[in-house]
């Protein structure tokens, strides 16, 4: 499912010789990455909804893995454009949902593990990594604090589009970002992303209080 | 059969500090197993400690004591080498007694 | 904590808050974790493991007292802080759990399938090998981590482990390193140790085997790796597989010289 | 077993009676204590009912009872709670957890010669006040502390 969505240009970049060069120094050269991939292929088994296809890297993953998350600037530029092109905005142009629903989604960290049931909806996982509403003290710090997000950045359409697309595909803005591509992989649907946009950008949301 | 307790009894000044770990599920009776059946309550209800035949401490517990319970208490009048005996009983009639030497 | 938050926001230094809040909660967790560590229910499992180690059982009616954990048959003290390591008799690198299972099969005559039918503790019980691993780990308490890197296969395991640690894949693009590659991060309220550095790596090494408060289960490093991959949205690593050994080697070698204070107690 | 609350109340209304019987040599310590487990007390579902069942309707709140528990519990499945009473002639210490399904979690009997200090670990379903009730010289005192129970990482 994921692989089928890889833009063709990503694959073309992968095939370019510069990226295939190993990073290791020549004298103790041994392709441990290749050995690791071979070991992983042997040692994993499908379980529940988590199939072995998940071990197949898509274009972005492969580039980030090969370069220690620091691909050359021109590669980054091209692939970020590809990722941006993947973002599907709502047809009716409405980007804001209900912040209360967004808060519930932000709290929910479920989905996509082998113990999760197939199908939707899955959670947004937001509090795992971000501070958001001041009412929730149990928040992670892997990502930046989003408290006062709208108050600091404004509530206009541009910023709504930014938040929507960032949640849809974080790799459009930072190719090797640690943040999942929630819309791109089909984890969050249009309406859910709208709710999360509202959580950050509704002036009434506790985030902006 | 229930596993032995882990008992430490240490004399500090004139006070014996007793620390006990007990192997017990402390099942509340409100949880369900994988098939949706309620797991019956199974928890320690009483704990008593004796030293030289005297009860030096006793406790009544409900099911909200954490699984594999820990208990600490202190009493006076013990000497190094004395035995401290602890007994628990649970709501299903299981019982276990262990003893430790005061060090 | 909330009062502090309002104060800070009023003072216009809201950006400093996450740090403050984190320090407060983490310190509180640590204080009570220390209290728990002194009387860790893991000791009950160590006692069971010791009894199993010393009591003859299985088709060969043998104890595990002749098991070679890398320091010679029967030597338990200090063995855990030197694993994973290379074992010539099987020509491979094994972690403590793999080795204990190996001994139960070879010495006691149990089948591998029988021993590993239930790999991890669950509500229905704690498998014997988990108790034994906990006992073995406890016999290295307060010793420095000294996982050997002499044999080529030990060095190879480290390098491969490092690659797997950094391997991003799956629907969420997660690698081990996504959560465990930098300092000072947390998920929700849980601190994420940086496993690439000694001070962080030791936290993982001594955390497992650990008594997990959730469910009150005694769980091993093998379980921890299994559950990490689950949270990483990967498929399942096979129990006792080289992949798991490789990552355990990577983190244990990174913890070199740190004092082992496990078995642990974890959220 | 089969010792109902009604019987317990008829028999004297408090656990103290059993200590007295033990002291008189009328009952073996273990037996008495085991029999005295009071279903009525442990099945109460509010602090008010719990206090009533324990015979302590209006305890005096005091700083002489010290409750040590975390401000934020890392995990509600295992919360360390220590209680110390500085009140002379402390006879009994009880733990009451307001928001738990059953309020009374533990009742400790403190005979003369035993220090009024106890520590154990409790399960808490949610953020709640933890009250420590102390019976000293026949009167009831209490102190309490709120313990926050947090949401775990990775969505559980």
Distance between CA D69 and CA D79 in Å, rounded? 7
pLDDT at B1: 60
What is the C-alpha to C-alpha distance for residues C194 and C251, in angstroms, rounded to an integer? 10
Residue A77 placed within a domain: yes
B47 CA: distance to closest CA in chain D (Å): 8
Three-class DSSP category at D46: coil
CB D41 within 8 A of CB D50: yes
Asked whether residue D154 is assigned to any structural domain, the reply reads no
Q: Is residue B27 part of a domain?
A: yes
CATH code of residue D45: 2.60.40.2470
Q: Quote the CA–CA distance of C256 and D114 in Å, as a whole number.
A: 46
- A64 and A127 belong to one structural domain: no
Q: Is residue B26 part of a domain?
A: yes
pLDDT in the model for residue B32? 87
When pLDDT is cut at 50, 70 and 90, the band that residue D6 belongs to is very low
Question: CB D156 to CB A109 under 8 A?
Answer: yes
CB atoms within 10 A of CB B15: 15
Place of tokens 């890392």: D74
Q: Do C188 and D153 touch (CB under 8 A)?
A: yes
Looking at the 3D structure of chain D, how many domains does it have?
A: 2
Of chain D, the percentage scoring pLDDT greater than 70 comes to 74
| D75 has a chain C CB within 8 A of its CB | yes
pLDDT above 70 for D20:
no
Q: What is the pLDDT of residue D12?
A: 39
Exposed/middle/buried for residue D62 (C-beta within 10 Å: 0-12, 13-18, 19+): middle
Q: Is D24 exposed, middle or buried (0-12, 13-18, 19+ CB in 10 A)?
A: exposed
Q: Rounded to a whole number, what is the distance in Å from the CA of B13 to chain D's nearest CA?
A: 13
Give dist(CA C69, CA C137) in Å, integer. 11
Q: Is residue A90 part of a domain?
A: no
Q: Would residue D119 count as lying in a domain? A: yes
pLDDT of D110 above 50: yes
Q: Is residue B1 part of a domain?
A: no
> Are residue D104 and residue D130 in the same domain, yes or no?
yes
Q: What is the CA radius of gyration of chain A?
A: 19
The pLDDT, as a whole number, for residue C34 is 78
In this predicted model, what pLDDT tens digit does every residue of C136-146 receive, in sequence order? 999 999 999 99
Task: Give the integer Cα–Cα distance in Å for C20 and D77.
Answer: 26
Give ∠ CA B62-C212-C131 in degrees, rounded to 5.
Answer: 100
Provide the pLDDT for residue C91: 98
Closest Cα to residue C136, out of C186, C65, C188, C196? C65
D71 and D100 inside one domain: yes
Three-class SS state of C174? strand
Q: Are residues A16 and A108 in the same domain?
A: no
D72 and D115 co-located in one domain: yes
Q: Which helix (H) or strand (E) holds C231?
A: helix C221-231
Q: What's the rounded Cα separation, in Å, for the pair A160 and A155?
A: 7
Residue A15 has pLDDT above 60, yes or no: no
- Whole-number Å distance between alpha carbons of D49 and A135: 32
Mean pLDDT of C133-162: 98
Copy the structure tokens of residue A74: 């021109």
Residues contacting residue A162 through CB under 8 Å, at least 6 positions apart: none
**Sequence spans of domains, chain C:** 42-266
D57 with D120, same domain?
Answer: yes
CA atoms within 13 A on the CB side of A30: 11
Q: The domain containing residue A20 runs over which residues?
A: 8-85
Give CATH superfamily name and number for C42-266: Cytochrome c-like domain (1.10.760.10)
**Residue A120 pLDDT exceeds 70:** no
pLDDT for the residue numbered C7 = 35
For residue C150, the model assigns a pLDDT of 97
Assigned domain for A52 exists: yes
Q: Report the predicted TM-score, pTM, of the whole model to 2 decimal places.
A: 0.86
On whether both A203 and A107 belong to a single domain, the answer is yes
Within this chain, do residues A183 and A116 fall inside the same structural domain, yes or no? Answer: yes
Chain D residues in contact with chain A using a Cβ-Cβ cutoff of 8 Å: 72, 148, 150-151, 153-156
Q: Mean pLDDT across the stretch C67-95?
A: 98
Q: Quick check: is B72 in a domain? A: yes
Which of C14, C175, C229 shows the shortest C-beta gap to A148? C14
Q: Does residue D70 share a domain with residue D103?
A: yes
Residues A106, A170 within the same domain: yes
Peptide bond into C263 cis (omega under 30): yes
- pLDDT at residue C37 in the model: 81
Q: Are residues D48 and D103 in the same domain?
A: yes
Residue D118 lies in a domain: yes
Is residue B21 included in any domain, yes or no? yes
Domain boundary among A85, A114, A146: A85
Using the Cβ of A137 and the Cβ atoms of chain D, whether some distance falls under 8 Å is answered with yes
Chain B neighbours (≥3 Cβ pairs under 8 A) are C, D
Q: Give residue for tokens 């890398």.
A: C70
Residue A3: inside a domain: no
One domain for residues D44 and D113: yes
Q: Tell me, what's the pLDDT at C267?
A: 84
pLDDT tier at C10, thresholds 50, 70, 90: very low
Q: Which two tokens stand for residue C154?
A: 């030990």
What region does A155 belong to: left with phi over 0, alpha with psi -120 to 50, or beta? alpha
Burial of A63 (0-12, 13-18, 19+ CB in 10 A): buried
For residues B5-12, average pLDDT: 97
Domain extent at residue D51: 39-149
Whether residue B73 lies inside any domain: the answer is yes
DSSP H stretches of helix in chain A? 8-14, 17-20, 32-43, 59-66, 73-85, 99-107, 126-129, 149-153, 157-168, 190-201
For residue C124, what pLDDT band results from cuts at 50, 70 and 90? confident
A23 plus A52 within the same structural domain: yes
- Can you tell me the distance from the alpha carbon of C62 to that of C59, in angstroms, rounded to the nearest whole number? 8
What pLDDT, in 10s, does the model give residues C220-229? 999 999 999 9
- Residue D20: CB atoms within 10 A of its CB come to 12
Of the candidates A85, A114, A149, which is a domain's last residue? A85
pLDDT > 90 fraction of chain C, expressed in percent and rounded:
82
Q: Which domain holds residue B72?
A: 6-101
pLDDT in tens, B53-63: 999 999 999 99
Q: Are residues A70 and A142 in the same domain?
A: no
Task: For B57, list phi and psi in degrees, rounded to 5.
Answer: -165, 145
Q: Looking at CA atoms only, how far is residue C158 from chain A in angstroms?
A: 10
A14 Cβ contact list (under 8 Å, min separation 6)? A59, A62, A63
Same domain, D69 and D145: yes
Domain match, A43 and A124 both: no
Which residues 144-173 of A are in CB contact (within 8 Å) with D?
none
Q: What is the CATH number of the domain that holds B46?
A: 2.60.40.10
Residues 6+ apart with CB under 8 A from A95: A89, A157, A160, A161, A163, A164, A194, A197
Same domain? For D52 and D14 the reply is no
Residue finishing a domain among A85, A111, A127: A85
User: How do residues D46-99 score in pLDDT, each as one tens digit?
Assistant: 999 999 999 998 999 999 999 999 998 888 999 999 999 999 999 999 999 999
ipTM of the complex: 0.83
Give D6's contacts (C-beta < 8 A, 6+ positions apart).
D40
In a shared domain, residues D112 and D141 = yes
| β partners of residue D84 | D66, D117
**Cβ within 8 Å, pair A128-D156:** no
Residue A65 and residue A164 share a domain: no
The pLDDT mean for chain C works out to: 90
Look at residue B88 and give its three-state secondary structure.
strand
Nearest residue in chain D measured CA to CA from C29: D74
Note whether A46 and A112 are same-domain residues: no
Asked if C187's CB is within 8 angstroms of D78's CB, the reply is no
Domain count, chain B: 1
Interface of D with C in 81-120 (CB under 8 A): none
Same domain membership, residue D65 and residue D1: no
Q: Mean pLDDT, chain D, as a whole number?
A: 82
């Amino acid at each position: 499912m994921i692989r089928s969505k890889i833009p063709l240009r990503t694959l073309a970049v992968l095939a370019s010789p510069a990226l295939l060069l190993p990073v290791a120094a020549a004298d103790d050269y041994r392709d441990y990455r290749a050995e690791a991939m071979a070991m992983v292929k042997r040692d994993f088994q499908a379980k529940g909804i988590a199939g072995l296809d998940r071990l197949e890297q898509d274009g972005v993953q492969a580039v980030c893995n090969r370069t220690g998350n620091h691909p050359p600037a021109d590669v980054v530029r091209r692939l970020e454009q590809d990722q941006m092109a993947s973002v599907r905005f709502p047809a009716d142009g409405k980007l804001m949902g209900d912040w209360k629903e967004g808060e519930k989604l932000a709290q929910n960290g479920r989905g996509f593990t082998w113990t999760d049931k197939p199908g939707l909806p899955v959670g947004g996982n937001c509090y795992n990594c971000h501070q958001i509403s001041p009412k929730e003290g149990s928040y992670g710090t892997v990502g930046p604090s989003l408290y006062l997000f709208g108050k600091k950045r404004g509530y206009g359409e541009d910023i709504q589009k930014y938040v929507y697309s960032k949640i849809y595909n974080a790799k459009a803005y930072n190719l090797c970002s640690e943040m999942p591509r929630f819309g791109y992989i089909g984890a969050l649907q249009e309406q859910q992303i709208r709710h999360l946009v509202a959580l950050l950008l509704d002036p009434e949301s506790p985030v902006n209080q | 059969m229930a596993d032995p307790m882990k008992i430490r009894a240490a004399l500090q000044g004139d006070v014996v500090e007793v620390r006990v770990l007990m192997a017990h599920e402390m099942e509340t009776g409100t949880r369900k197993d994988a098939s949706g059946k309620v797991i019956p309550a199974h928890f320690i209800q009483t704990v008593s400690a004796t030293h030289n035949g005297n009860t030096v401490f006793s406790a009544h517990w409900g099911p909200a004591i954490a699984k594999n319970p820990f208990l600490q208490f202190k009493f006076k009048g013990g000497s190094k080498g004395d035995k401290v005996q602890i007994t628990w009983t649970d709501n299903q009639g299981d019982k276990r007694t262990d003893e430790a030497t005061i060090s | 904590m909330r009062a502090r938050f309002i104060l800070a926001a009023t003072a216009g230094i809201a950006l400093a808050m996450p740090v403050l809040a984190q320090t407060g909660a983490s310190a509180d967790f640590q204080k009570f974790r220390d209290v728990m560590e002194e009387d860790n229910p893991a000791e009950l499992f160590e006692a069971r493991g010791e009894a199993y180690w010393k009591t003859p059982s299985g088709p060969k009616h043998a104890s595990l007292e002749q098991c070679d954990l890398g320091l010679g048959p029967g030597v338990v003290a200090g063995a855990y802080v030197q694993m994973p390591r290379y074992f010539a008799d099987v020509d491979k690198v094994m972690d403590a759990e793999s080795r204990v299972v190996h001994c139960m099969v070879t010495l006691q005559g149990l089948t591998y399938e029988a021993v590993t039918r239930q790999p991890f503790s669950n509500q229905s019980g704690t498998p014997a090998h988990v108790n034994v691993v906990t006992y073995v780990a406890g016999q290295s308490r307060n010793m420095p981590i000294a996982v050997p890197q002499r044999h080529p296969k030990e060095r190879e395991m480290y390098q491969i482990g490092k690659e797997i640690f950094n391997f991003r894949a799956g629907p969420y693009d997660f690698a081990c390193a996504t959560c465990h590659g930098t300092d000072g991060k947390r998920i929700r309220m849980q601190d994420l140790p940086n496993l690439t550095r000694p001070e962080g790596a030791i936290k993982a090494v001594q955390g497992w085997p650990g008594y997990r408060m959730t469910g009150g289960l005694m769980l091993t490093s093998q379980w921890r790796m299994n559950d990490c991959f689950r949270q990483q949205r990967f498929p399942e690593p096979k129990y006792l597989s080289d992949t798991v050994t490789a990552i355990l080697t990577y983190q244990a070698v990174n913890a070199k010289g740190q004092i082992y204070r496990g078995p642990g107690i974890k959220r | 077993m089969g010792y109902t609350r009604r019987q317990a109340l008829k028999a004297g209304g408090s656990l103290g009676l059993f200590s007295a019987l033990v002291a008189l040599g009328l009952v073996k310590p273990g037996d008495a204590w085991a029999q005295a487990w009071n279903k009525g007390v442990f099945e109460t579902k509010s602090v008010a009912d719990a206090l009533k069942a324990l015979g302590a309707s209006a305890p005096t709140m005091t700083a002489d009872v010290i409750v040590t528990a975390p401000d934020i519990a890392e995990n509600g499945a295992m919360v360390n709670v220590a209680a110390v009473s500085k009140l002379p002639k402390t006879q009994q210490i009880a733990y009451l957890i307001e928001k738990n399904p059953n309020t009374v979690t533990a009742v400790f009997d403190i005979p003369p010669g035993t220090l009024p200090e106890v520590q154990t670990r409790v399960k808490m379903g949610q953020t709640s006040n933890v009250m420590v009730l102390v019976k000293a010289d026949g009167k009831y005192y209490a102190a309490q502390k709120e313990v926050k129970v947090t949401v775990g990482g990775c969505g559980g």
